[in-house]
């Protein structure tokens, strides 16, 4: 079981300000989470193949077929500003 002091210690390390009430609530919630982790750790997984997905995925992407190409003028037509066929954006120094 995690107690309030442990929660307060971790909160200090993470530079979080918790009230006594919040520390108590988190102690209960974190203890429940660790109980579930202990339960999962006790499950026998011998012979179970590691998986990256619950459902096997095969070729989930469409074919990469070239489509209609835009001209530079079409691509930059709706841009607020463009210059020499490129999008013009404000300099980061200009925003500061």
Q: What is the pLDDT of residues 14-61, one digit of tens each?
A: 999 999 999 999 999 999 999 999 999 999 989 888 887 788 778 778
Total domains present in the chain: 1
Does any domain span residue 28? yes
Does any domain span residue 26? yes
Does any domain span residue 68? no
pLDDT tens track for 49-73 = 888 778 877 877 888 899 999 999 9
Does any domain span residue 76? no
Q: What share of the chain is helix, strand, coil (3-state, %, to 5)?
A: 45, 5, 55
Does any domain span residue 70? no
Does any domain span residue 92? no
Residue-number span of the structural domain to which 14 is assigned: 4-41
Alpha carbons 71 and 76: distance in angstroms, whole number:
9
The gap from C-alpha 61 to its chain's centroid, in whole angstroms, comes to 22
Does any domain span residue 13? yes
CATH of the domain at 12: 1.10.20.60
Q: Which two tokens stand for residue 46?
A: 């011998």
Q: How confident is the model at residue 96 (pLDDT cuts 50, 70, 90)?
A: low
Alpha carbons 22 and 6: distance in angstroms, whole number:
13
Asked if residue 8 lies in contact with residue 26, where contact means CB atoms within 8 angstroms, the answer is no
């Amino acid at each position: 079981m995690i107690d309030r002091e442990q929660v307060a210690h971790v909160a200090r390390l993470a530079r979080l300000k918790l009230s006594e009430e919040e520390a108590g609530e988190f102690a209960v919630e974190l203890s429940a989470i660790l109980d579930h982790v202990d339960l999962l750790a006790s499950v026998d997984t011998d012979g179970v193949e590691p998986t990256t997905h619950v459902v096997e995925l095969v070729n989930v992407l469409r074919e990469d077929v070239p489509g209609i190409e835009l001209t530079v003028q079409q691509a930059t037509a709706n841009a607020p500003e463009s210059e020499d066929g490129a999008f013009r954006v404000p300099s980061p120094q200009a925003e500061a």
